[in-house]
Chains A and B, each alone.
Chain A
Amino acid sequence: MNNSIIGKKTRVSDNILYAVIYGSAAISILLLVGIMGYVFVRGISNVNLSFLTTVPSTIKGTFGIAGNIVNTLYIIFITLLFATPIGVGAAIYLNEYAKPGKVVSIIEFTTEVLSGIPSIIFGLFGMVFFGNVCGFGYSILTGSFTLTLMVLPLITRNTQEALKTVPESYRSGALGMGATKWYMIRTILLPSAMPGIITGVILAVGRIVGESAALLFTAGSGYLLPKAGIGFLNKIMESGGTLTIQLYLCMSKAQYGEAFGIALVLLVIVLLINMLTKYLSKKFDVSQG
Protein backbone atom coordinates (compact mmCIF):
# COMPACT_ATOMS: atom_id res chain seq x y z
CA MET A 1 0.00 0.00 0.00
CA ASN A 2 2.65 2.49 0.98
CA ASN A 3 4.81 1.64 -1.94
CA SER A 4 2.84 3.77 -4.34
CA ILE A 5 4.75 6.89 -5.33
CA ILE A 6 1.53 8.84 -5.67
CA GLY A 7 0.70 10.90 -2.65
CA LYS A 8 3.48 9.28 -0.72
CA LYS A 9 4.64 12.33 1.10
CA THR A 10 3.37 15.82 1.57
CA ARG A 11 6.16 18.15 2.42
CA VAL A 12 5.33 20.48 5.26
CA SER A 13 7.79 23.05 3.95
CA ASP A 14 6.01 23.02 0.58
CA ASN A 15 2.71 23.84 2.20
CA ILE A 16 4.25 26.61 4.26
CA LEU A 17 5.78 28.15 1.15
CA TYR A 18 2.45 27.90 -0.68
CA ALA A 19 0.85 29.73 2.22
CA VAL A 20 3.54 32.43 2.08
CA ILE A 21 3.11 32.85 -1.66
CA TYR A 22 -0.69 33.12 -1.43
CA GLY A 23 -0.33 35.41 1.57
CA SER A 24 1.98 37.79 -0.28
CA ALA A 25 -0.34 37.98 -3.25
CA ALA A 26 -3.20 38.64 -0.87
CA ILE A 27 -1.26 41.49 0.72
CA SER A 28 -0.73 43.13 -2.67
CA ILE A 29 -4.43 42.87 -3.50
CA LEU A 30 -5.60 44.00 -0.09
CA LEU A 31 -3.32 47.03 -0.26
CA LEU A 32 -4.91 48.15 -3.48
CA VAL A 33 -8.45 47.47 -2.33
CA GLY A 34 -7.74 49.14 0.99
CA ILE A 35 -6.25 52.25 -0.60
CA MET A 36 -9.04 52.60 -3.16
CA GLY A 37 -11.74 51.94 -0.61
CA TYR A 38 -10.36 54.28 2.02
CA VAL A 39 -9.85 57.16 -0.41
CA PHE A 40 -13.31 56.60 -1.87
CA VAL A 41 -15.07 56.56 1.49
CA ARG A 42 -13.23 59.59 2.83
CA GLY A 43 -13.28 61.53 -0.43
CA ILE A 44 -16.76 61.05 -1.86
CA SER A 45 -18.44 63.46 0.53
CA ASN A 46 -16.07 66.26 -0.52
CA VAL A 47 -16.54 65.93 -4.25
CA ASN A 48 -19.41 67.88 -5.68
CA LEU A 49 -20.02 70.22 -8.58
CA SER A 50 -18.71 73.35 -6.90
CA PHE A 51 -15.61 71.46 -5.74
CA LEU A 52 -14.83 70.65 -9.36
CA THR A 53 -15.82 73.91 -10.99
CA THR A 54 -14.64 76.74 -8.72
CA VAL A 55 -11.35 78.10 -7.42
CA PRO A 56 -10.63 78.58 -3.71
CA SER A 57 -12.08 81.79 -2.34
CA THR A 58 -11.13 83.22 1.01
CA ILE A 59 -14.06 85.66 0.94
CA LYS A 60 -16.67 82.96 0.57
CA GLY A 61 -14.54 80.46 2.45
CA THR A 62 -15.06 77.84 -0.24
CA PHE A 63 -12.61 75.45 -1.82
CA GLY A 64 -12.44 74.24 -5.42
CA ILE A 65 -9.97 72.65 -7.76
CA ALA A 66 -11.04 74.00 -11.16
CA GLY A 67 -7.81 75.99 -11.45
CA ASN A 68 -5.71 72.95 -10.67
CA ILE A 69 -7.57 70.82 -13.20
CA VAL A 70 -6.93 73.44 -15.89
CA ASN A 71 -3.25 73.68 -14.87
CA THR A 72 -2.91 69.92 -15.10
CA LEU A 73 -4.41 69.96 -18.59
CA TYR A 74 -2.06 72.76 -19.65
CA ILE A 75 0.97 70.86 -18.41
CA ILE A 76 -0.13 67.59 -20.02
CA PHE A 77 -0.72 69.34 -23.35
CA ILE A 78 2.53 71.33 -23.46
CA THR A 79 4.65 68.44 -22.20
CA LEU A 80 3.29 66.06 -24.82
CA LEU A 81 3.68 68.72 -27.50
CA PHE A 82 7.43 68.54 -26.97
CA ALA A 83 7.96 65.03 -25.67
CA THR A 84 5.99 63.08 -28.30
CA PRO A 85 7.87 64.24 -31.44
CA ILE A 86 11.27 64.00 -29.74
CA GLY A 87 10.56 60.62 -28.18
CA VAL A 88 9.13 59.12 -31.36
CA GLY A 89 11.99 60.61 -33.41
CA ALA A 90 14.56 59.11 -31.09
CA ALA A 91 12.89 55.71 -31.31
CA ILE A 92 12.83 55.90 -35.12
CA TYR A 93 16.52 56.77 -35.17
CA LEU A 94 17.42 53.93 -32.83
CA ASN A 95 15.34 51.38 -34.66
CA GLU A 96 15.60 52.39 -38.32
CA TYR A 97 18.69 54.49 -38.90
CA ALA A 98 21.32 53.67 -36.32
CA LYS A 99 23.79 50.90 -36.83
CA PRO A 100 24.57 49.05 -33.64
CA GLY A 101 27.67 50.49 -32.05
CA LYS A 102 28.96 52.87 -29.47
CA VAL A 103 26.56 55.75 -30.22
CA VAL A 104 23.49 53.56 -29.94
CA SER A 105 24.62 52.00 -26.70
CA ILE A 106 25.32 55.46 -25.25
CA ILE A 107 21.87 56.68 -26.31
CA GLU A 108 20.23 53.62 -24.84
CA PHE A 109 22.20 53.95 -21.63
CA THR A 110 21.28 57.62 -21.22
CA THR A 111 17.63 56.85 -21.91
CA GLU A 112 17.83 54.22 -19.20
CA VAL A 113 19.49 56.70 -16.84
CA LEU A 114 16.90 59.34 -17.62
CA SER A 115 14.11 56.98 -16.59
CA GLY A 116 15.95 56.14 -13.37
CA ILE A 117 16.62 59.69 -12.17
CA PRO A 118 14.24 60.53 -9.31
CA SER A 119 11.75 63.28 -9.96
CA ILE A 120 13.13 65.50 -7.22
CA ILE A 121 16.40 65.76 -9.18
CA PHE A 122 14.44 66.72 -12.28
CA GLY A 123 12.76 69.31 -10.11
CA LEU A 124 16.08 70.80 -8.96
CA PHE A 125 17.47 70.80 -12.48
CA GLY A 126 14.31 72.33 -13.93
CA MET A 127 14.26 75.03 -11.27
CA VAL A 128 17.86 76.04 -12.00
CA PHE A 129 18.00 75.54 -15.76
CA PHE A 130 14.54 76.41 -17.09
CA GLY A 131 13.58 78.62 -14.18
CA ASN A 132 16.73 80.68 -13.57
CA VAL A 133 19.05 80.25 -16.56
CA CYS A 134 16.35 80.39 -19.23
CA GLY A 135 14.37 82.88 -17.16
CA PHE A 136 10.94 81.24 -17.19
CA GLY A 137 10.63 81.47 -13.40
CA TYR A 138 7.93 79.52 -11.61
CA SER A 139 5.66 78.84 -14.56
CA ILE A 140 3.68 76.16 -16.31
CA LEU A 141 6.25 76.31 -19.12
CA THR A 142 9.13 75.52 -16.73
CA GLY A 143 7.16 72.61 -15.31
CA SER A 144 6.30 71.29 -18.75
CA PHE A 145 9.90 71.42 -19.97
CA THR A 146 11.02 69.59 -16.85
CA LEU A 147 8.40 66.90 -17.34
CA THR A 148 9.32 66.61 -21.02
CA LEU A 149 12.73 65.27 -19.97
CA MET A 150 11.02 62.95 -17.53
CA VAL A 151 8.49 61.29 -19.84
CA LEU A 152 10.82 61.13 -22.83
CA PRO A 153 12.17 57.63 -22.04
CA LEU A 154 8.63 56.32 -21.61
CA ILE A 155 7.59 57.42 -25.11
CA THR A 156 10.88 56.40 -26.70
CA ARG A 157 10.76 52.92 -25.25
CA ASN A 158 7.12 52.24 -26.12
CA THR A 159 7.61 53.48 -29.68
CA GLN A 160 10.72 51.34 -30.02
CA GLU A 161 8.83 48.26 -28.85
CA ALA A 162 6.06 49.03 -31.33
CA LEU A 163 8.51 49.53 -34.19
CA LYS A 164 10.16 46.21 -33.39
CA THR A 165 6.86 44.38 -33.87
CA VAL A 166 6.37 45.78 -37.38
CA PRO A 167 7.33 42.86 -39.66
CA GLU A 168 10.54 43.23 -41.66
CA SER A 169 8.62 42.36 -44.84
CA TYR A 170 6.69 45.65 -44.62
CA ARG A 171 9.97 47.54 -44.77
CA SER A 172 11.52 45.59 -47.62
CA GLY A 173 8.19 45.63 -49.47
CA ALA A 174 7.94 49.40 -49.33
CA LEU A 175 11.60 49.98 -50.16
CA GLY A 176 11.47 47.42 -52.95
CA MET A 177 8.59 49.28 -54.58
CA GLY A 178 10.75 52.37 -54.77
CA ALA A 179 9.64 54.26 -51.68
CA THR A 180 12.33 56.31 -50.02
CA LYS A 181 13.15 55.62 -46.40
CA TRP A 182 11.33 58.65 -45.01
CA TYR A 183 8.29 57.86 -47.15
CA MET A 184 8.36 54.30 -45.89
CA ILE A 185 8.57 55.47 -42.28
CA ARG A 186 5.79 58.02 -42.73
CA THR A 187 3.30 55.85 -44.57
CA ILE A 188 4.08 52.32 -43.40
CA LEU A 189 5.96 52.25 -40.11
CA LEU A 190 4.31 55.05 -38.14
CA PRO A 191 0.72 53.94 -38.85
CA SER A 192 1.62 50.34 -37.94
CA ALA A 193 3.33 51.45 -34.76
CA MET A 194 0.58 53.92 -33.84
CA PRO A 195 -1.01 51.79 -31.06
CA GLY A 196 2.36 51.51 -29.32
CA ILE A 197 2.98 55.22 -29.65
CA ILE A 198 -0.46 56.02 -28.26
CA THR A 199 0.10 53.64 -25.35
CA GLY A 200 3.36 55.42 -24.59
CA VAL A 201 1.63 58.80 -24.72
CA ILE A 202 -1.14 57.65 -22.39
CA LEU A 203 1.39 56.23 -19.95
CA ALA A 204 3.15 59.58 -20.10
CA VAL A 205 -0.13 61.32 -19.26
CA GLY A 206 -0.45 59.03 -16.26
CA ARG A 207 3.05 59.91 -15.13
CA ILE A 208 2.36 63.64 -15.54
CA VAL A 209 -0.91 63.47 -13.61
CA GLY A 210 0.76 61.67 -10.72
CA GLU A 211 3.92 63.76 -10.64
CA SER A 212 4.53 66.13 -7.79
CA ALA A 213 8.17 66.42 -6.69
CA ALA A 214 9.38 67.65 -10.07
CA LEU A 215 6.65 70.27 -10.24
CA LEU A 216 6.80 71.75 -6.76
CA PHE A 217 9.79 73.98 -7.53
CA THR A 218 9.17 74.44 -11.24
CA ALA A 219 5.48 75.04 -11.91
CA GLY A 220 4.76 76.46 -8.47
CA SER A 221 1.38 76.36 -6.83
CA GLY A 222 -0.94 78.89 -8.49
CA TYR A 223 -4.58 77.90 -8.39
CA LEU A 224 -6.34 80.59 -10.45
CA LEU A 225 -8.16 80.03 -13.71
CA PRO A 226 -6.68 81.67 -16.81
CA LYS A 227 -8.31 84.90 -17.89
CA ALA A 228 -10.27 84.84 -21.12
CA GLY A 229 -8.75 85.81 -24.45
CA ILE A 230 -4.99 86.42 -24.42
CA GLY A 231 -4.99 85.17 -20.82
CA PHE A 232 -5.07 81.63 -22.14
CA LEU A 233 -1.64 82.16 -23.69
CA ASN A 234 -0.25 84.23 -20.84
CA LYS A 235 -1.17 81.44 -18.46
CA ILE A 236 1.78 79.33 -19.56
CA MET A 237 4.16 81.93 -18.14
CA GLU A 238 2.31 82.02 -14.81
CA SER A 239 2.68 79.66 -11.91
CA GLY A 240 0.20 76.82 -11.86
CA GLY A 241 -0.07 73.94 -9.41
CA THR A 242 -1.42 70.61 -10.64
CA LEU A 243 -3.85 68.44 -8.70
CA THR A 244 -1.05 66.57 -6.93
CA ILE A 245 0.62 69.81 -5.81
CA GLN A 246 -2.68 71.08 -4.45
CA LEU A 247 -3.14 67.76 -2.67
CA TYR A 248 0.30 68.10 -1.10
CA LEU A 249 -0.41 71.68 0.01
CA CYS A 250 -3.75 70.68 1.54
CA MET A 251 -2.02 67.82 3.30
CA SER A 252 0.67 70.02 4.82
CA LYS A 253 -2.03 72.45 5.98
CA ALA A 254 -3.91 69.50 7.51
CA GLN A 255 -7.00 70.10 5.34
CA TYR A 256 -7.57 66.39 5.03
CA GLY A 257 -11.14 66.56 3.74
CA GLU A 258 -10.14 68.57 0.69
CA ALA A 259 -7.06 66.38 0.29
CA PHE A 260 -9.20 63.25 0.07
CA GLY A 261 -11.49 64.94 -2.43
CA ILE A 262 -8.51 65.60 -4.71
CA ALA A 263 -7.14 62.12 -4.06
CA LEU A 264 -10.42 60.63 -5.23
CA VAL A 265 -10.37 62.72 -8.42
CA LEU A 266 -6.77 61.60 -9.06
CA LEU A 267 -7.61 57.95 -8.48
CA VAL A 268 -10.50 58.14 -10.93
CA ILE A 269 -8.17 59.65 -13.55
CA VAL A 270 -5.54 56.95 -12.91
CA LEU A 271 -8.20 54.26 -13.18
CA LEU A 272 -9.47 55.67 -16.49
CA ILE A 273 -5.95 55.88 -17.93
CA ASN A 274 -5.29 52.33 -16.84
CA MET A 275 -8.44 51.06 -18.50
CA LEU A 276 -7.69 53.01 -21.66
CA THR A 277 -4.22 51.47 -22.04
CA LYS A 278 -5.69 48.02 -21.40
CA TYR A 279 -8.37 48.58 -24.02
CA LEU A 280 -5.86 49.86 -26.58
CA SER A 281 -3.35 47.11 -26.11
CA LYS A 282 -6.10 44.52 -26.39
CA LYS A 283 -7.62 46.11 -29.45
CA PHE A 284 -4.34 46.34 -31.33
CA ASP A 285 -2.73 43.18 -30.07
CA VAL A 286 -1.40 41.44 -33.17
CA SER A 287 -1.18 38.04 -31.57
CA GLN A 288 -4.92 37.99 -30.90
CA GLY A 289 -5.67 38.86 -34.51
Chain B
Amino acid sequence: MVIKMDEKETFSIIGSHKTKSVIEKAAHIIFTICACFAICAVASITIYMFVNGTPALAKVGITDILFHSVWKPTAENPQFGILFVILTSIVGTFLAILIGVPIALMTAIFLAEVAPKRLAAIVKPAVELLAGIPSVIYGLLGILILNPIMYRIETAIFKDSQTHQFTGGANLISAVIVLAIMILPTVINISESAIKAVPPHLKSASLALGASYIQTIFKVIIPAAKSGIVTAVVLGVGRAIGEAMAITLVSGSSVNLPLPFNSVRFLTTAIVSEMGYASDTHRQVLFTIGLVLFVFIMLINITLNTVLKNGGKEHE
Protein backbone atom coordinates (compact mmCIF):
# COMPACT_ATOMS: atom_id res chain seq x y z
CA MET B 1 0.00 0.00 0.00
CA VAL B 2 2.76 2.34 1.01
CA ILE B 3 4.76 1.43 -2.09
CA LYS B 4 1.79 2.20 -4.25
CA MET B 5 1.49 5.59 -2.68
CA ASP B 6 5.13 6.27 -3.54
CA GLU B 7 4.62 5.23 -7.11
CA LYS B 8 1.75 7.57 -7.37
CA GLU B 9 3.83 10.38 -6.08
CA THR B 10 6.56 9.96 -8.69
CA PHE B 11 3.93 10.28 -11.37
CA SER B 12 2.41 13.42 -9.98
CA ILE B 13 3.06 16.63 -11.80
CA ILE B 14 4.67 18.07 -8.71
CA GLY B 15 7.31 15.36 -8.64
CA SER B 16 8.31 15.72 -12.26
CA HIS B 17 8.43 19.44 -11.89
CA LYS B 18 11.85 19.16 -10.28
CA THR B 19 13.55 17.28 -13.12
CA LYS B 20 11.75 19.48 -15.57
CA SER B 21 13.01 22.64 -13.98
CA VAL B 22 16.55 21.23 -14.04
CA ILE B 23 16.22 20.61 -17.77
CA GLU B 24 14.72 24.04 -18.23
CA LYS B 25 17.61 25.68 -16.44
CA ALA B 26 20.16 23.62 -18.36
CA ALA B 27 18.54 24.60 -21.66
CA HIS B 28 18.59 28.25 -20.66
CA ILE B 29 22.27 28.07 -19.70
CA ILE B 30 23.29 26.18 -22.85
CA PHE B 31 21.52 28.67 -25.11
CA THR B 32 23.15 31.56 -23.26
CA ILE B 33 26.57 29.98 -23.77
CA CYS B 34 25.83 29.54 -27.49
CA ALA B 35 24.89 33.20 -27.75
CA CYS B 36 28.02 34.33 -25.92
CA PHE B 37 30.12 32.34 -28.39
CA ALA B 38 30.03 35.23 -30.86
CA ILE B 39 31.26 37.63 -28.17
CA CYS B 40 34.09 35.25 -27.21
CA ALA B 41 35.05 34.79 -30.86
CA VAL B 42 35.24 38.51 -31.60
CA ALA B 43 37.05 39.19 -28.32
CA SER B 44 39.66 36.50 -28.88
CA ILE B 45 40.20 37.49 -32.51
CA THR B 46 40.74 41.09 -31.39
CA ILE B 47 43.14 40.05 -28.63
CA TYR B 48 45.11 37.71 -30.87
CA MET B 49 45.39 40.24 -33.66
CA PHE B 50 46.79 42.81 -31.24
CA VAL B 51 49.05 40.35 -29.42
CA ASN B 52 50.56 39.15 -32.68
CA GLY B 53 50.54 42.44 -34.52
CA THR B 54 52.14 44.78 -32.00
CA PRO B 55 55.55 43.11 -31.30
CA ALA B 56 56.81 44.08 -34.75
CA LEU B 57 55.69 47.65 -34.20
CA ALA B 58 57.84 47.80 -31.11
CA LYS B 59 60.74 45.95 -32.69
CA VAL B 60 61.00 47.85 -35.94
CA GLY B 61 59.44 51.11 -34.83
CA ILE B 62 55.95 52.37 -35.57
CA THR B 63 57.02 55.09 -38.01
CA ASP B 64 59.46 52.74 -39.76
CA ILE B 65 56.62 50.34 -40.49
CA LEU B 66 53.63 52.54 -41.07
CA PHE B 67 55.17 55.56 -42.76
CA HIS B 68 58.05 54.08 -44.70
CA SER B 69 57.70 52.97 -48.25
CA VAL B 70 60.62 50.58 -48.71
CA TRP B 71 59.60 46.94 -48.39
CA LYS B 72 62.63 44.66 -48.39
CA PRO B 73 61.83 42.02 -45.79
CA THR B 74 64.39 39.46 -46.93
CA ALA B 75 67.32 41.80 -47.61
CA GLU B 76 70.41 41.66 -45.44
CA ASN B 77 69.37 44.94 -43.87
CA PRO B 78 65.61 44.32 -43.91
CA GLN B 79 63.20 47.21 -44.24
CA PHE B 80 59.53 46.85 -43.46
CA GLY B 81 57.82 50.01 -44.72
CA ILE B 82 54.18 49.23 -45.55
CA LEU B 83 53.05 52.74 -46.46
CA PHE B 84 52.54 51.83 -50.13
CA VAL B 85 50.68 48.69 -49.17
CA ILE B 86 48.26 50.66 -47.01
CA LEU B 87 47.87 53.33 -49.71
CA THR B 88 47.21 50.67 -52.34
CA SER B 89 44.41 49.17 -50.26
CA ILE B 90 42.82 52.56 -49.69
CA VAL B 91 43.16 53.75 -53.29
CA GLY B 92 42.14 50.37 -54.73
CA THR B 93 39.05 50.16 -52.54
CA PHE B 94 38.10 53.74 -53.31
CA LEU B 95 38.39 53.19 -57.07
CA ALA B 96 36.47 49.92 -56.89
CA ILE B 97 33.67 51.72 -55.03
CA LEU B 98 33.76 54.53 -57.57
CA ILE B 99 33.22 52.07 -60.43
CA GLY B 100 31.08 49.48 -58.71
CA VAL B 101 28.59 51.53 -56.70
CA PRO B 102 26.99 53.51 -59.57
CA ILE B 103 26.46 50.32 -61.59
CA ALA B 104 25.14 48.50 -58.54
CA LEU B 105 22.85 51.35 -57.54
CA MET B 106 21.38 51.61 -61.05
CA THR B 107 20.84 47.86 -61.12
CA ALA B 108 19.12 48.07 -57.74
CA ILE B 109 16.85 50.81 -59.07
CA PHE B 110 16.18 48.67 -62.10
CA LEU B 111 15.21 45.69 -59.94
CA ALA B 112 13.13 47.61 -57.44
CA GLU B 113 11.38 50.18 -59.60
CA VAL B 114 11.92 50.08 -63.34
CA ALA B 115 12.03 46.46 -64.42
CA PRO B 116 8.94 44.65 -65.61
CA LYS B 117 8.23 41.73 -63.29
CA ARG B 118 9.39 39.10 -65.73
CA LEU B 119 12.70 40.78 -66.42
CA ALA B 120 13.34 41.30 -62.71
CA ALA B 121 12.69 37.60 -62.20
CA ILE B 122 15.68 36.88 -64.45
CA VAL B 123 18.04 39.58 -63.22
CA LYS B 124 17.54 38.99 -59.49
CA PRO B 125 18.64 35.32 -59.44
CA ALA B 126 21.56 36.25 -61.68
CA VAL B 127 22.76 38.78 -59.12
CA GLU B 128 22.37 36.22 -56.34
CA LEU B 129 24.40 33.75 -58.33
CA LEU B 130 27.09 36.36 -58.89
CA ALA B 131 27.41 36.61 -55.12
CA GLY B 132 27.92 32.88 -54.80
CA ILE B 133 30.81 32.52 -57.24
CA PRO B 134 33.98 31.69 -55.28
CA SER B 135 36.52 34.51 -55.26
CA VAL B 136 39.32 32.37 -56.73
CA ILE B 137 37.26 32.00 -59.91
CA TYR B 138 37.13 35.79 -60.25
CA GLY B 139 40.89 35.73 -59.85
CA LEU B 140 41.32 33.06 -62.50
CA LEU B 141 39.24 35.02 -64.99
CA GLY B 142 41.08 38.20 -64.06
CA ILE B 143 44.39 36.64 -64.94
CA LEU B 144 43.26 35.16 -68.21
CA ILE B 145 40.93 37.87 -69.50
CA LEU B 146 41.80 41.20 -67.85
CA ASN B 147 45.57 40.93 -67.68
CA PRO B 148 46.15 40.36 -71.42
CA ILE B 149 43.88 43.32 -72.23
CA MET B 150 45.73 45.48 -69.71
CA TYR B 151 49.03 44.37 -71.14
CA ARG B 152 47.98 45.52 -74.57
CA ILE B 153 46.89 48.90 -73.25
CA GLU B 154 50.07 49.14 -71.22
CA THR B 155 52.35 48.48 -74.17
CA ALA B 156 50.43 51.02 -76.22
CA ILE B 157 50.73 53.76 -73.60
CA PHE B 158 54.27 53.16 -72.41
CA LYS B 159 55.79 52.30 -75.79
CA ASP B 160 58.45 54.97 -75.57
CA SER B 161 58.84 55.12 -71.81
CA GLN B 162 62.27 54.33 -70.45
CA THR B 163 61.38 54.19 -66.79
CA HIS B 164 58.18 52.15 -66.78
CA GLN B 165 58.43 48.64 -65.39
CA PHE B 166 56.29 46.39 -67.53
CA THR B 167 53.95 44.22 -65.50
CA GLY B 168 52.40 41.91 -68.05
CA GLY B 169 49.05 43.43 -67.24
CA ALA B 170 49.00 42.51 -63.57
CA ASN B 171 48.37 46.00 -62.25
CA LEU B 172 46.18 48.18 -60.08
CA ILE B 173 43.47 48.66 -62.71
CA SER B 174 42.99 44.91 -63.19
CA ALA B 175 42.61 44.45 -59.44
CA VAL B 176 40.21 47.38 -59.17
CA ILE B 177 37.99 45.98 -61.92
CA VAL B 178 37.87 42.57 -60.24
CA LEU B 179 37.02 44.22 -56.90
CA ALA B 180 34.35 46.39 -58.50
CA ILE B 181 32.67 43.29 -59.93
CA MET B 182 32.91 41.48 -56.63
CA ILE B 183 31.15 44.19 -54.63
CA LEU B 184 28.24 44.41 -57.10
CA PRO B 185 26.02 41.72 -55.52
CA THR B 186 26.47 43.06 -51.98
CA VAL B 187 25.60 46.64 -52.94
CA ILE B 188 22.78 45.63 -55.28
CA ASN B 189 20.99 43.41 -52.76
CA ILE B 190 21.11 45.80 -49.84
CA SER B 191 20.24 48.95 -51.76
CA GLU B 192 17.42 47.10 -53.53
CA SER B 193 15.80 46.19 -50.24
CA ALA B 194 16.35 49.75 -49.01
CA ILE B 195 14.60 51.14 -52.09
CA LYS B 196 11.76 48.66 -51.76
CA ALA B 197 11.28 49.65 -48.13
CA VAL B 198 10.50 53.27 -49.04
CA PRO B 199 6.84 53.89 -48.13
CA PRO B 200 4.69 53.85 -51.32
CA HIS B 201 2.80 57.00 -50.36
CA LEU B 202 5.94 59.08 -50.97
CA LYS B 203 6.08 57.76 -54.51
CA SER B 204 2.37 58.30 -55.13
CA ALA B 205 2.54 61.84 -53.79
CA SER B 206 5.45 62.71 -56.03
CA LEU B 207 3.80 61.22 -59.11
CA ALA B 208 0.52 62.98 -58.31
CA LEU B 209 2.35 66.28 -58.17
CA GLY B 210 3.33 65.73 -61.77
CA ALA B 211 6.91 64.59 -61.39
CA SER B 212 8.04 62.12 -64.00
CA TYR B 213 8.88 58.61 -62.92
CA ILE B 214 12.61 59.20 -63.20
CA GLN B 215 12.37 62.41 -61.20
CA THR B 216 10.44 60.54 -58.54
CA ILE B 217 13.10 57.86 -58.36
CA PHE B 218 16.07 60.20 -58.11
CA LYS B 219 14.58 63.05 -56.11
CA VAL B 220 12.19 61.23 -53.77
CA ILE B 221 12.87 57.52 -53.51
CA ILE B 222 16.69 57.59 -53.43
CA PRO B 223 16.90 60.30 -50.76
CA ALA B 224 14.35 58.38 -48.69
CA ALA B 225 16.40 55.20 -49.01
CA LYS B 226 19.62 57.04 -48.20
CA SER B 227 20.59 55.27 -44.99
CA GLY B 228 20.09 51.84 -46.55
CA ILE B 229 22.20 52.80 -49.54
CA VAL B 230 24.96 54.14 -47.29
CA THR B 231 24.90 50.81 -45.45
CA ALA B 232 25.26 49.03 -48.76
CA VAL B 233 28.23 51.15 -49.75
CA VAL B 234 29.94 50.68 -46.39
CA LEU B 235 29.49 46.92 -46.64
CA GLY B 236 30.88 47.12 -50.16
CA VAL B 237 33.95 48.91 -48.80
CA GLY B 238 34.38 46.15 -46.22
CA ARG B 239 34.10 43.49 -48.87
CA ALA B 240 36.58 45.22 -51.19
CA ILE B 241 39.21 45.97 -48.58
CA GLY B 242 39.09 42.44 -47.18
CA GLU B 243 39.18 40.52 -50.45
CA ALA B 244 42.36 38.52 -50.83
CA MET B 245 42.39 35.51 -53.09
CA ALA B 246 40.79 37.09 -56.13
CA ILE B 247 43.35 39.85 -56.47
CA THR B 248 46.51 38.14 -55.23
CA LEU B 249 47.64 37.10 -58.67
CA VAL B 250 45.76 39.75 -60.64
CA SER B 251 47.43 42.74 -59.01
CA GLY B 252 51.00 41.68 -59.64
CA SER B 253 53.06 41.41 -56.52
CA SER B 254 55.64 44.07 -56.02
CA VAL B 255 55.23 46.86 -53.52
CA ASN B 256 54.72 50.05 -55.48
CA LEU B 257 53.02 53.41 -55.38
CA PRO B 258 49.38 52.77 -56.36
CA LEU B 259 49.43 54.19 -59.87
CA PRO B 260 47.06 52.65 -62.43
CA PHE B 261 49.65 50.70 -64.39
CA ASN B 262 51.93 49.77 -61.50
CA SER B 263 52.16 46.28 -60.18
CA VAL B 264 50.88 46.69 -56.63
CA ARG B 265 50.37 44.84 -53.39
CA PHE B 266 47.31 45.18 -51.15
CA LEU B 267 47.17 44.56 -47.39
CA THR B 268 45.46 41.25 -48.02
CA THR B 269 47.62 40.08 -50.89
CA ALA B 270 50.79 40.86 -48.93
CA ILE B 271 49.67 38.37 -46.28
CA VAL B 272 48.59 35.72 -48.76
CA SER B 273 51.69 35.81 -50.89
CA GLU B 274 54.32 36.02 -48.15
CA MET B 275 52.95 34.16 -45.15
CA GLY B 276 54.00 30.87 -46.71
CA TYR B 277 57.73 31.51 -46.37
CA ALA B 278 58.03 34.38 -43.87
CA SER B 279 59.82 33.89 -40.59
CA ASP B 280 60.82 35.90 -37.48
CA THR B 281 60.41 39.66 -37.84
CA HIS B 282 59.07 39.35 -41.38
CA ARG B 283 56.28 37.11 -40.13
CA GLN B 284 55.53 39.47 -37.28
CA VAL B 285 55.29 42.38 -39.70
CA LEU B 286 52.81 40.39 -41.76
CA PHE B 287 50.72 40.10 -38.61
CA THR B 288 51.03 43.86 -38.22
CA ILE B 289 49.61 44.18 -41.76
CA GLY B 290 46.78 41.93 -40.60
CA LEU B 291 46.29 44.21 -37.61
CA VAL B 292 46.10 47.29 -39.85
CA LEU B 293 43.49 45.54 -41.97
CA PHE B 294 41.61 44.50 -38.84
CA VAL B 295 41.59 48.08 -37.53
CA PHE B 296 40.19 49.27 -40.87
CA ILE B 297 37.44 46.65 -40.72
CA MET B 298 36.56 47.52 -37.14
CA LEU B 299 36.30 51.21 -38.06
CA ILE B 300 33.99 50.25 -40.92
CA ASN B 301 31.86 48.13 -38.60
CA ILE B 302 31.55 50.87 -36.01
CA THR B 303 30.63 53.40 -38.73
CA LEU B 304 28.04 50.96 -39.99
CA ASN B 305 26.58 50.52 -36.54
CA THR B 306 26.19 54.27 -36.04
CA VAL B 307 24.74 54.70 -39.55
CA LEU B 308 22.19 51.99 -38.83
CA LYS B 309 21.26 53.51 -35.48
CA ASN B 310 20.83 56.98 -36.97
CA GLY B 311 18.91 55.52 -39.90
CA GLY B 312 16.63 53.74 -37.48
CA LYS B 313 15.92 56.99 -35.67
CA GLU B 314 15.17 58.76 -38.95
CA HIS B 315 12.25 56.49 -39.70
CA GLU B 316 10.76 56.58 -36.21
Contact = CB atoms under 8 A, between A and B. Distances in A.
B103 interface: yes
A117 B28 CA distance: 29
A114 interface: yes
A44 interface: no
B34 interface: yes
Contacts of A211: 134
Interface string B111-140: 100110000001101111110111111111
A22 B141 CA distance: 25
The 7 closest A-B pairs by CB, nearest first: A118-B242, A89-B34, A24-B106, A210-B134, A93-B31, A93-B35, A25-B110
A117 B134 CA distance: 17
Contacts of A33: 126
A120 B244 contact: yes
B177 to A, nearest CB: 11
A94 B69 CA distance: 47
A90 interface: yes
Given A14-B215, A116-B301, A118-B243, A21 B109 contact: yes
Contacts of A206: 132
A85 interface: yes
Interface stretch (A50-58, A124-132, A229-237): A124-132
Nearest to B269: A120
A97 B32 contact: yes
Interface residues on B, range: 35 or more
A182 B29 CA distance: 12
B5 interface: no
Contacts of A76: none
B145 interface: yes
Contacts of B245: 212-213, 216, 244, 248
Contact of A121 (B30, B293, B305): B293
Interface string A50-90: 00000000000000000000000000000000000111111
Contact of A11 (B34, B106, B133, B214): B214
Contacts of A35: 130, 133, 137-138, 141
A156 interface: yes
Nearest to A117: B297
A270 B123 contact: no
